[in-house]
């Protein structure tokens, strides 16, 4: 399986995340050669059959064939590492089993731990783990998830000058609609307030957000409940929302005031 240099395949439907993972692997495993990248599970299997990499980094949730389904076809012919974003059920199964996985956004320290385990198995010339039963279990769980409520949105892509910024939904403080655009107010890398405009309606975005985390408080405003400092009641059955570490004050209209009745 292993040539002079270890080889790997990366499969993720987000090109920017594939590039980010490749850069991180270069840091924690410089001798690893990325010989193929795939944008979905079918591409991953095709590239694997053509190039036979030693290690496959597979995003769990990809359009068409998932990473787990691709792993079933690859079998124990390669060492498998799954990359997943808040897939609670899958992570639980991974943690109980013997599969390697890293969470999105991938942290270099966690990736280094996973790489160390894979390298140890390769040094010991151990065959890739036979995880057929566990993969079948995970495939069934993912099929169940697909048949139910769609997963909540995890990232929003925003064009900022010549760059496309991936904004984690957890970092968003609030969203405010405009006629054609929605303003995304979030926390940047340094924790400071930042803003971006996206060409999506507030309704379109809100439909994909976790209702346990985000609440519409005005016809043009949705707020992350975790970002609220306090709510001040005003006249005429209205209220204002004050945010942690931000100067903006968000309106709560009468029809949404029931969300804060307990105050």
DSSP letters for 165-182: EEEEGGGEEEEEE-SS-E
- Asked if 80 and 74 count as a contact pair (C-beta separation under 8 A), the reply is yes
pLDDT at 2: 46
The CA distances from residue 33 to 23, 29, 70, 185, 245, in Å, are 11, 9, 21, 39, 44
CA dist., res. 57 & res. 12, Å (int): 9
pLDDT at 1: 47
| Secondary element (H or E) of residue 94 | helix 88-96
Average pLDDT of 34-54? 96
Q: Domain 7-147: give its CATH superfamily.
A: Response regulator (3.40.50.2300)
pLDDT at 15: 85
CA dist., res. 78 & res. 7, Å (int): 10
pLDDT at 93: 58
Which range (33-37, 142-146, 212-216) has the least confidence?
142-146
Is residue 260 over pLDDT 60?
Answer: yes
Using pLDDT thresholds of 50, 70 and 90, give the confidence band for residue 94. low
Q: Dig out the tokens for 223 from the structure.
A: 């707020």
CA dist., res. 1 & res. 136, Å (int): 24
Burial class (CB in 10 A: 0-12, 13-18, 19+), 88: exposed
Start and end residues for every CATH 3.40.50.2300 domain found in the chain: 7-147
Average pLDDT of 56-79? 88
Is residue 8 over pLDDT 80?
Answer: yes
The CA distances from residue 166 to 27, 70, 154, 172, in Å, are 21, 26, 10, 11
Provide the angle, in degrees to the nearest 10, between the axes of the packed helices 108-123 and 15-28.
Answer: 60
Q: What b/e string do you get for 97-119 counting C-beta neighbours within 10 Å, with b at 16 or more? A: bebbbbbbebeeeebeebbeebb
Beta-carbon count within 10 A of 226 CB = 11
Start and end residues for every CATH 2.40.50.1020 domain found in the chain: 155-260
Which residues is 156 bridged to in the sheet?
167
Using pLDDT thresholds of 50, 70 and 90, give the confidence band for residue 145. low
Average pLDDT of 60-76? 86
Average pLDDT of 113-138? 78
Using pLDDT thresholds of 50, 70 and 90, give the confidence band for residue 263. very low
CATH architecture of 155-260: Beta Barrel (2.40)
Is residue 21 over pLDDT 80?
Answer: yes
Average pLDDT of 209-213? 82
């Amino acid at each position: 399986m292993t040539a002079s240099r270890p080889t790997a395949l990366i499969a993720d439907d987000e090109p920017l995340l594939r590039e980010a993972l490749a850069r991180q692997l270069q840091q924690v495993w410089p001798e690893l050669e990325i010989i193929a990248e795939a944008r979905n599970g079918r591409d991953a299997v095709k590239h694997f059959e053509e190039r036979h990499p030693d290690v496959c980094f597979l995003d769990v949730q990809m359009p068409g064939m998932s990473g787990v389904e691709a792993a079933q076809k690859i079998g124990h012919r390669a060492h498998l590492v799954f990359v997943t974003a808040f897939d609670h059920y899958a992570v639980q199964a991974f943690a109980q089993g013997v599969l390697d996985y890293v969470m999105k956004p991938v942290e270099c320290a966690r990736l280094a731990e996973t790489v160390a385990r894979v390298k140890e198995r390769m040094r010991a010339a151990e065959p890739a783990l036979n995880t057929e039963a566990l993969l079948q279990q995970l495939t069934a769980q993912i099929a169940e998830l697909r048949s139910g409520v769609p997963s909540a949105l995890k990232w929003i892509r925003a064009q900022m000058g010549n760059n496309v910024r991936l904004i984690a939904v957890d970092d968003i403080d609030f969203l405010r609609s405009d006629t054609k655009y929605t303003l995304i107010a979030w926390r940047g890398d340094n924790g400071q307030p930042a803003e971006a405009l996206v060409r999506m309606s507030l309704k379109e975005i809100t439909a994909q957000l976790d209702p346990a985390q985000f609440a519409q408080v005005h016809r043009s405003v949705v707020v992350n409940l975790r970002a609220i400092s306090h709510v001040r009641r005003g006249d005429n059955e209205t209220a204002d929302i004050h945010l942690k570490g931000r100067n903006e004050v968000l309106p709560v209209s009468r029809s949404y005031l029931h969300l804060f009745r307990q105050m």
